[in-house]
Amino acid sequence: MYALTALAVLAGVAAVAYHAGSRKSQKELAALQEEMERLVAAEKDAAIVKRVSQQMEDIAYQQKAISDQQRDRAEEQSILATRSAARAEMESRAARAAESKANAAAEVAERERANAERQQEIALEQRDEANHAKNVADTLNRRTQARSLAVSSQVRREAGEPEVADLLAYASWYFLKNNRGNEYYADTFKSLTQATGGMPRYKLREGGAVNAIAQVPGQNGQCVAVSNYGEVEWLSAGSSEGGARISSKPLLFDPAYDFRDVTVRDGKILALSHNGPLCVLDFQGRLTAVDLPEDDYFKLVPSGNRLLVAARRSLGWYADGALTGRVALDKSLSAVVDRAGVICLFYADGSYAEMDAAGRITAKAPLVNYVVTAACYDPSTECLLLGVKDGTVYPVNKYNRVLETLAAHKSRCVSITMLDPVVVTGGYDKTAFIWNMDNLLFETGLNFREELETEHVEKRVVNSGEIPTEWLVPVDYSFDGWTLAVCADADGKSVWIGTSAGNVMLLNSSADDMAQQLRRKFKRNLTQQEWTRYVGVSIPYMTFK
């Protein structure tokens, strides 16, 4: 198109050049050519611009089409979004409704779970109660059976069947020991005593009342006994084919002496006569008599490395063959004991005082409101035992708290000894009582060891889920005279007992030790038939050998 335009311009220019002249025509021709070139260039630029504009227009249309498509798509997306939102809202409402139902169901399930757990707890409690009731019934059954076996043991022994009697005695102890029973039940303890050889007995040669017995330190089964008839005898326990027996070596016999107490120190025997003197003997019987001021002497009290000589109205220290530091008293004593270095003075009017190492006496409030007639202090437990005029015995702990009332003798208690945890008492009622303090049922609910360490008891301690330890009356032995003296042996398990009839006995006070001795000598077990006869079918058959 621009070519035709150029030809037309050339034709016009030629016509002008023809009329204007050649020279002028040439100039004009040149100008026209220049103009023509400019126009051609301008035309080309215009064509380019037009083409570019056309292209821009095409691009714009394309962009418009794309924009329309995007708008349409956006509208479609909006519609879809609106529909999705509506659907989501419906689903949200449905979810909330489902959640509400689920929460309600969860609450119901939680209530049912809690109820099920409570039912389970009730079922477990009922099961535990049933098991406890069964255990209590089984325990009581075995305790009852144990007491029956103890009686059967003694009957079989009298009937001449010692082998069966021994097995029944052990079974009685075993059922009590393993069912928190009292293995110090009198028949069980006595059947064990019989099964292990009985209680050996010895009568002083002159038959005087055995007022005091002292152990020989470090020598098991040995003691020194003194009487009111001036007798001093060295006794030794042993065994023979006929069973346990006591042999004697007389060291002194002089009716002028009325011995009230005796002790063994540094290889010497010190025997205290009622009105003096203090007799000092060696084990060959060589005597040295230490004169004492006139008084009513009744007690020798070892205190550390010193020895206190107590009379009813005076106190003095014995050393190097003489009585020193004598203190006169303004009223009569009924009992005296060393309590960890403090001398406890109990007066016949029921009052109480303490004396220190320097001899200073200080009045104190009475530990019990009775006249104390016998006292014993056990260093291992720090327990002070007080026997009183009416026969009752009171254990007192280190805080001066009375732990319990042991209603023992029917008359004055005159002698006490302790082999932790066993207490043995003697009295004017011709009996000796054996108490196992670990089996003692205290009113507080505490056991003996806890009682010893407790200064104040706020309230009674009760454990209803625990089968209580059985506590019956203590073992009681009756003799042919007042039980004036009880003394622990050096072996820590036996006790010497002296009576007003002049007899001395050695009793094993440990039920457990006797049971172990008995088991070692078994040659057989009870047969099934014997078990059924004596024990019964409610307790499964057992062997002890």
Residue 472 located in a structural domain: no
Q: Residue 8 pLDDT more than 80?
A: no
More confident residue, 300 or 241: 300
For the chain, the average pLDDT equals 88
3-state secondary structure of 69: helix
Predicted local confidence at residue 441, as pLDDT: 75
Q: Residue 251 pLDDT more than 90?
A: yes
Q: What value does the mean pLDDT take over residues 494-521?
A: 95
Residue 337 located in a structural domain: no
Helices vs. strands in the chain: H and E counts, helices first: 7, 27
Q: What value does the mean pLDDT take over residues 8-29?
A: 62
DSSP code, position 473: P
Q: What value does the mean pLDDT take over residues 389-400?
A: 96
Domains identified in the chain, total number: 1
Residues 407-463 have pLDDT tens digits of 879 999 999 999 988 999 999 999 999 999 988 877 777 889 999 999 988 766 655
Residue 39 located in a structural domain: yes
Asked if 153 and 169 count as a contact pair (C-beta separation under 8 A), the reply is yes
Residues in Cβ contact with 22 at an 8 Å cutoff, skipping those fewer than 6 apart:
none
Helix segments in 325-473, DSSP class H: 448-452
Q: Residue 131 pLDDT more than 90?
A: no
Residues in Cβ contact with 505 at an 8 Å cutoff, skipping those fewer than 6 apart:
199, 200, 201, 202, 479, 496, 497, 498
Q: Is the peptide bond before 421 cis (omega within 30 degrees of 0)?
A: yes
Please provide the DSSP assignment of 474-491 as one string. PEEEE-SS-EEEEEE-TT
Residue with tokens 């956006």: 74
Using left for φ > 0, alpha for ψ between -120 and 50, and beta otherwise, residue 288 falls in: beta
Angle at the Cα of 157 from the Cα atoms of 151 and 158, rounded to 5 degrees: 95
Query: Helices 22-158 and 162-177: crossing angle, nearest 10°?
Result: 140
Amino acid making up residue 228: N
Please provide the DSSP assignment of 131-181 as one string. HHHHHHHHHHHHHHHHHHHHHHHHHHHHTT-HHHHHHHHHHHHHHHHTTT-
DSSP code, position 255: T
Q: What value does the mean pLDDT take over residues 219-237?
A: 96
Residue 47 located in a structural domain: yes
Predicted local confidence at residue 15, as pLDDT: 57
Q: What span, in angstroms and rounded, lies between the C-alpha atoms of 222 and 236?
A: 5
Predicted local confidence at residue 134, as pLDDT: 76
The b-or-e profile of 481-495 (16+ CB within 10 A means b, else e) is: ebbbbbbbbebebbb
Residues 80-112 have pLDDT tens digits of 878 877 887 888 888 888 888 888 888 888 888
Q: Residue 371 pLDDT more than 70?
A: yes
Residue 188: which pLDDT band, with cuts at 50, 70 and 90? very high
Residue 277: which pLDDT band, with cuts at 50, 70 and 90? very high
Residue 69 located in a structural domain: yes
Asked if 395 and 388 count as a contact pair (C-beta separation under 8 A), the reply is no
Predicted local confidence at residue 74, as pLDDT: 74
What Å distances lie between residue 432 and 114, 124, 452, 486, CA to CA? Answer: 61, 49, 24, 8
The b-or-e profile of 129-139 (16+ CB within 10 A means b, else e) is: eeeeeeeeeeb
26 is written with which tokens?
A: 């040439």
Residue 103 located in a structural domain: yes
Residue 501 located in a structural domain: no
Residue 348 located in a structural domain: no
Q: Which domain holds residue 86?
A: 2-124
Burial (0-12, 13-18, 19+ Cβ within 10 Å), 10: middle
Backbone angles phi, psi at 435, to 5 degrees: -115, 130
The b-or-e profile of 447-476 (16+ CB within 10 A means b, else e) is: bbeebbebeebeeeeeeeeeeeebbeebbe
Q: Residue 4 pLDDT more than 60?
A: no
